[in-house]
Structure formats: C-alpha cells, structure tokens
Amino acid sequence: MVRELFDEYEYFHMNMTLDEYQTEAMNTAVYPGNLLYPLLGLQGEVGEFSEKVKKYFRDTTGEMELEDPVIEMSAELRADLAKEAGDILWYLTALANDLGYDLEEIAAMNLKKLRDRKERGVIHGSGDER
C-alpha cells in the first residue's frame, strides 16, 4: 500500500539505512563544514516543530479531550510535523558528520547507554553519567 504512493526511486529511499541516508543527505550539504551552521539550523528546525505543536495545543484546547493528541491531529498537521522532523534529521546528520560519526554508530551508542541505564535501574534519573 505504501509502495503505491511513491515511484521506485522514492520507495528505495524509504527503505534506506541511516548510513545511506547520511551519505545522501551530505551530498546536499552546502556550508563551510563546521559545527556552528548545523547546530543553529537544528535549533531553528526544532523551534519550527515546537511552534506547530504549540499552536495545535493553543487552538484545540477545550475542543477535544486530547487523550492522544497525535491521533487527534489532522493528517495535514502530522505531515507538516514529519517534514519538520526530516529537517531536524538533516541537521542532526550534519552534526554527526562534522563530528566524524555515522548515524548508525550514534544510534548504537545511544541504545547501549540506555540499555545500561535500564539494567542498573537509573533510566528515570537525571544527569549524563548516571
């Protein structure tokens, strides 16, 4: 069903790995190759995502129970948020690339850290080194 919505090129890219995404995304990068540009871009895109969510809650509070706000969002708003999430992913990818890491490495490092915290019973704590 999903495949019918996309041409062959688009469908291939829907099934890519994080490393494949990183390679493709960095082919579109046009900046001096330092951390500042993608860091500021990431902050801007997170802000745009947050603004859309803020306005959704502002405009719908009282109109619905908001037991599950995502399910109650319009398909159009969810699509807009997905596009913003894509922009966030691009800037995060650029940061990883500038630091010399692959996204798959970062994902694996993060899961290892989270599994360790869960096993030690400190996943609900605070602080980077818990």
Q: Quick check: 41 and 97 in contact, CB under 8 A?
A: no
CA gap 50, 81 in Å, rounded: 9
pLDDT of residue 128: 78
Band of the pLDDT at 71, cuts 50, 70, 90? confident
What's the mean pLDDT in 40-54?
Answer: 96
Question: Phi, psi (5° rounding) for residue 74?
Answer: -70, 155
- What DSSP element (H or E) covers 2? none
Please give the structure tokens belonging to residue 103: 């996204």
User: What's the whole-model pTM score?
Assistant: 0.81
What does the pLDDT look like over 95-128, one tens digit per residue? Answer: 999 999 999 999 999 999 999 999 999 988 787 7
Q: State the average pLDDT for the chain.
A: 87
Confidence (pLDDT) at 1: 44
Please tell me the distance from the alpha carbon of residue 54 to that of residue 87, in angstroms, as a whole number: 18
Q: Which pLDDT band holds residue 129 (cuts at 50, 70, 90)?
A: confident
DSSP string, 9-45: HHHHHHT--HHHHHHHHHTT--S-SSSHHHHHHHHHH
- Percent pLDDT > 70 in the chain is 85
Contact at 8 Å (CB) between 21 and 103?
yes
Q: Can you give the pLDDT at residue 12?
A: 62
| pLDDT tens figures, 6-33 | 676 676 667 889 999 999 999 999 998 7
